Structure 1
């Protein structure tokens, strides 16, 4: 007997539908998990941001405390201890110009002239429109001997705050007097060098003279006068008198009273 032939339903059809349903369910679950993961990732970024804000707030608070402690130490004359406090504060808030400004003042008092200038330069870098920063920079530059640079710094400070009387009456006035002294000293050194060359290469000594004539005597007198002038220039010092005028004083004559910079307490405890 022959078996009849007919199309059979695919044996795996039912199984495939079940697997397909399971796959779709799993896919939805994966999508949900991925969505939750993205949400968790967003929350993580926000948590990091918030944590950073908290750390910055903590740094600012601690820096403020260290700044105040340093100010108190500076007022007590404990300058190196004050600088240590401010250095710690600078590590926490490295862009705070107040810390650099006070540190520069104390370094100037300690005669740490070059570090004082470099520190004051940081002040005007972070706050270029703050007149007190330019004032501190100018004072540090004066202490270093950079009179022309100090004059410029004081002029900038006056431009930013022309109503501040101390800038006109103390800082700029003193810098201008020192500049006059600097120019006078420079001229004195030029004249001294010129006289020295004339002594070493006296034109009278290059001529032939009749030793029985008066020309020899006149030449010797001229050389002697030039030599005396050179010795006098070497003993001459350019100073400022009590009224701020430039004078040339020869050693041994008594220089009298010389002007001194205004003795003011530069350190100021400033708030944020």
Structure 2
């Protein structure tokens, strides 16, 4: 990507100042991540994501376009996407109603195209990517929620002084996130769900979560079916296997990655090899 690529900023915003709870919160905060990912692989623009909701008056100097998303409170399943120019003028507004998981999935599948068409007015060009292929159907809803849930693994750490109930609740939340992402990753051969699962595992490992070891079987199952060194999952598995202590398999995979004529892969292998 060029250093001077146009920046498109993505953020969630409140829906009429009403709170969104439960799984709706992960959908609301996962939607900007999902659309930013689609734009990153589907255009020549640079996607920037705000990790918390941003109120309406906020301005973003340097952004070519701003994409604001909102999810209605539970019981009013609607999704809104607004694309604004730098001065705050609305270029495009899309509102879709969805009252079950299948309807939400259908809405989500169409939103990347809506965003890319809207930002094209600022000169952003669409490009073809062989990598970008998120899951379809109801699995897509889990994937979008999972993007935010993955961040929660590392963002919402419990302080060392927390009481036993808070620690147990946090551990159960991380276990639920990882188990759900693992089920999604092992239910398909597509790349993005596996990368999301592995990313959440690594984030949990980095913060010292004790539940990571419980996901070894799911992680091994997804690593095993990745047999092509050109597959991003194969490269990622070299690191994932390492955190589970399977250094022999990790080393064999890194040897095959070193044999590729790919400087970026060689840098990746060097970083993985540096992990004790």
Structure having the higher strand fraction is: 2
Is the pair's TM-score, using the shorter chain for normalization, greater than 0.5? no
Q: TM-score, normalized by length of structure 1? A: 0.26
User: Highest Rg: 1 or 2?
Assistant: 1
Higher relative contact order (CA 8 A, sep 6+): 2
Task: State the TM-score, normalizing by the size of structure 2.
Answer: 0.26
